[in-house]
């Protein structure tokens, strides 16, 4: 296994003077290829900001970070990752196939290549048959699956996911969690996953990064060695509950439950 993301003493302050917000403070984190790492914490703990720094959507104000051994910007220019947002962010004037085709068009792929990748990735997220539908004709869960297919379409090494299932109801969320695990097992991508749900983090991850707010920093990193085979029922096993308890304790010690 090789290190794909390496942050050392990472710092990020938005604005200056009185109104300055210290979003990230002294972040040390290293993520290896093939890992599924969740960033968990309350609102304002900087978990989304950290993901955005990895994606080169924000610039850090201090410390160093490398992605695939180069700067985040170089990694973005090399199209190293697929990004999944909180909302599906599908373009309403494109069909589902058209939306998945978007990054492929931007990258200048041939039509035949595009069609083959669209078909493959739509099958991967169980959306075959919905190619010609427009986003508003699909449920929220299906839209988010389409957005995952879009992120995977150009076969990046890394998947960066920012609370992708946060807006969905729990039943749909459970179902998509299961599908995401299968997808991860099939593709062996490195996944960095932002969430504020403890069961979701424990169910999906190989490692859980517990963050605490004001300023956003890493409180604890918890190994989540539940193995590769994780049916939904695993959530009632003592081992699962023990890890979930440790995450909750970590959040409490990180002052996440205070006003």
3-state secondary structure of 243: helix
Q: Is 236 in the site for other proteins (CB under 8 A)?
A: no
Distance of closest approach, residue 192 Cβ to other proteins, in angstroms: 13
Report d(CA 39, CA 64) in Å as an integer. Answer: 19
Of 37, 28, 14, 6, nearest in space to 189 by CA: 37
The residue length of the chain stands at 259
Query: In angstroms, what is the minimal distance from the CB of 89 to other proteins?
Result: 4
Answer yes or no: are the C-beta atoms of 247 and 38 closer than 8 Å. Answer: no
Nearer to other proteins, 14 or 257 (CB): 14
Closest distance to other proteins from the beta carbon of 103 (Å) = 5
Binding mask 13-42 for other proteins (x = CB under 8 A): ------------------------------
* Angle, alpha carbons 146-154-28 (nearest 5°): 90
Instruction: Specify whether the backbone of 17 is left (phi greater than 0), alpha (psi in -120 to 50) or beta.
Output: left
Contact positions with other proteins (CB under 8 A) in 64-103: 76-77, 79, 81-83, 85-87, 89, 91-95, 102-103
Task: Report the residue number, 93 or 228, with the smaller CB distance to other proteins.
Answer: 93
Q: Residue 120 to residues 16, 79, 91, 152, 246: CA-CA distances in angstroms? A: 47, 19, 20, 10, 39
Q: Judged by CB, which is closer to other proteins: 93, or 236?
A: 93
From 21, 115, 134, 140, residue interacting with other proteins (rule: CB under 8 A): 134
Which stretches of the chain bind other proteins, using CB under 8 A?
A: 55, 57, 76-77, 79, 81-83, 85-87, 89, 91-95, 102-103, 105-107, 134-136
């Amino acid at each position: 296994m090789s290190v794909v993301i390496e942050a050392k003493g990472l710092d990020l302050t938005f604005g200056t003077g009185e109104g300055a917000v210290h979003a990230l403070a002294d972040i040390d984190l290293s993520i290896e290829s093939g890992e599924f790492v969740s960033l968990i914490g309350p609102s304002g703990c900087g978990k989304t900001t950290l993901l955005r720094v990895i994606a080169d959507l924000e610039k850090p104000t201090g410390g160093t970070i490398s992605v695939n051994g180069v700067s985040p910007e170089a990694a973005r220019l090399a199209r190293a990752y697929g990004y999944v947002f909180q909302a599906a962010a599908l373009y309403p004037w494109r069909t589902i196939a058209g939306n998945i085709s978007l990054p492929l068009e931007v990258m200048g792929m041939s039509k035949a290549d595009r069609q083959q990748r669209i078909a493959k990735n739509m099958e991967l997220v169980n959306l075959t048959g919905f190619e010609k539908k427009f986003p508003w004709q699909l449920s929220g869960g299906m839209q988010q699956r389409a957005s995952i297919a879009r992120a995977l379409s150009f076969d990046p090494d890394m998947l960066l996911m920012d609370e992708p299932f946060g807006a969905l109801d729990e039943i749909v969320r459970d179902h998509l969690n299961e599908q995401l695990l299968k997808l991860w097992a099939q593709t062996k991508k490195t996944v960095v996953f932002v969430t504020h749900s403890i069961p979701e983090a424990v169910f999906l991850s190989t490692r859980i990064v517990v963050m605490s707010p004001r300023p956003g920093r890493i409180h604890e990193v918890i190994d989540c060695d539940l193995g590769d085979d994780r049916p939904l029922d695993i959530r009632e096993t003592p081992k699962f509950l023990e890890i979930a308890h440790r995450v909750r304790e970590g959040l409490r010690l990180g002052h996440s439950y205070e006003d």
